[in-house]
């Protein structure tokens, strides 16, 4: 606030020199004249002072042997004085203020808050389908009814409301929380691989194995059928069954092949979106192979978004290269592939040269959770024995 106060009054950078310029400080203090950014430079006092106090200095320093020199002028009075004969500047500023006030009655930016799984773009598209889009007047909107229309349009939202602030319309939503459909059915936990059980942690269900047991793929580990004094209960089994597993896998790598690699060349193209008008800031298109990254940046003023956006697409170019590998390099590639796939496993690797390609036969020793959920299926047509 002090900065704005001084800006509107006008600020001068001055230097004070003469006989004993230090007594200036005492005189300013005596007459309650505010000066700041005081510094001594080659026998002179340099400081800042507002225009109103500066006009009082000649009377105070009269017959004191002190002289003043203005170094720089800052603030609104000097700016307006500079352009006071240029009426176009003031007319343009007036038109800008009127136009800005008029445009503030329109929706120029739509934002979504409260969504976690539903994409904001999907909600904005649904808003446009019910008549809420950029460029529409606030007076034409019945936010209460539009919120109901949005809920009818979307089967993923349980609540919605609209909040208008300036030219920004915020869509506040709450999503429908759906329970996993599998929870409605009883399930077993079965083994997805052969192994020797080393650890059991079952939270729901009837565990039918113990540590040290050897199981085969498809064996039931935890049953979803619990029998007790109260009768038979069907549950969705939950838990972890850790086992030592041994699996085999074969990978191959050709000695000659084509590979797509980055060239290092990148290029960006930008589109300026002004209100609802999109203006491309580039010429021509791009050919060849490339990946692209798309970003949207909204310009802000005083931390508030403006109806001006920059859409930027960055092109990352690729090229197809002919690659020839030796047997050792092919084996090195295969080893990296299998190690990346099983980062926590112990792997035995056997490599073979098959003239045109290298082959890896890997045996993977891994300790992991082998329990996978399987729905219980009851045959209601089968008569009990």
Considering the segment(s) 109-175 as one domain, its CATH architecture is Roll (3.10)
**Local structure of 289: helix, strand or coil:** strand
pLDDT of residue 147: 87
Give the separation between CA 372 and CA 257, rounded to whole angstroms: 38
Domain boundaries, the chain: 2-80, 109-175, 181-246, 257-323
In sequence order, the β-bridge partners of residue 165 are: 168
What does the pLDDT read at residue 383?
A: 44
pLDDT of residue 378: 59
CA pair distance 138, 212, nearest whole angstrom: 71
As its CATH architecture, domain 2-80 has 2-Layer Sandwich (3.30)
Low-confidence stretches of the chain (pLDDT beneath 70): 1, 19, 21, 63, 82-87, 89-90, 178-184, 302, 304-305, 377-385
Task: Give per-residue pLDDT as tens, 320-379.
Answer: 999 999 999 999 999 999 999 999 899 999 999 999 999 999 999 999 999 999 988 655
Supply the DSSP symbol for 138: G
Alpha helices in the chain (DSSP H): 2-9, 23-30, 51-54, 57-60, 76-82, 87-103, 120-129, 143-153, 327-341
What is the longest distance spanned by two Cα atoms in the chain? Answer: 125
Instruction: Please give the pLDDT value at position 89.
Output: 65
Q: How many CB atoms lie within 10 A of CB 317?
A: 17
At 327 the pLDDT is 94
pTM of the entire predicted model: 0.49
């Amino acid at each position: 606030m002090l900065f704005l106060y001084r800006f509107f009054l006008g600020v001068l950078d001055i230097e004070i020199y003469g006989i004993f310029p230090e007594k200036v400080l005492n005189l300013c203090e005596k007459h309650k004249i505010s000066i700041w950014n005081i510094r001594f430079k080659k026998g002179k006092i340099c400081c800042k002072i507002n225009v109103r106090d500066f006009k009082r200095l000649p009377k105070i320093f009269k017959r004191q042997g002190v002289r003043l020199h203005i170094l720089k002028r800052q603030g609104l009075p000097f700016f307006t004085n500079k352009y006071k004969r240029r009426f176009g500047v003031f007319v343009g500023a007036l038109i800008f203020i009127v136009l800005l006030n008029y445009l503030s009655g329109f929706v120029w930016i739509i934002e979504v808050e409260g969504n976690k799984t539903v994409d904001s773009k999907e909600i904005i598209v649904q808003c446009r389908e019910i008549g809420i889009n950029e460029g529409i007047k606030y007076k034409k909107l019945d936010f209460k009814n539009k919120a109901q229309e949005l809920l009818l349009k979307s089967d993923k939202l349980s609540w919605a409301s609209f909040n208008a602030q300036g030219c920004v319309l915020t869509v506040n939503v709450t999503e429908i929380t759906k329970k996993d459909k599998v929870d409605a059915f009883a399930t077993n936990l079965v083994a997805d691989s052969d192994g020797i059980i080393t650890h059991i942690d079952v939270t729901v269900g009837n565990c039918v194995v113990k540590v040290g047991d050897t199981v085969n793929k498809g064996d039931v580990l935890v049953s979803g059928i619990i029998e007790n004094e109260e009768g038979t209960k069907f549950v969705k089994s939950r838990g972890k069954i850790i086992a030592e597993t041994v699996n085999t896998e074969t990978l191959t790598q050709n000695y000659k092949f084509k590979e797509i690699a980055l060239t290092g060349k990148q290029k960006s193209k930008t589109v300026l979106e002004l209100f609802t008008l999109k203006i491309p800031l580039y010429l021509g298109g791009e050919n060849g192979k490339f990946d692209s990254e798309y970003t949207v940046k909204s310009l802000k003023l005083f931390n508030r978004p403006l109806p001006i956006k920059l859409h930027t697409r960055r092109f990352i170019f690729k090229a197809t290269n002919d690659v020839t590998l030796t047997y050792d390099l092919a084996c090195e590639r295969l080893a990296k592939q299998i190690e990346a796939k099983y980062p926590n496993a112990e792997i035995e690797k056997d490599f073979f040269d098959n003239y045109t390609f290298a082959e890896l036969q890997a045996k993977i020793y891994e300790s992991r959770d082998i329990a996978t959920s399987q729905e219980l299926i009851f045959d209601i047509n089968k008569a009990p024995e």
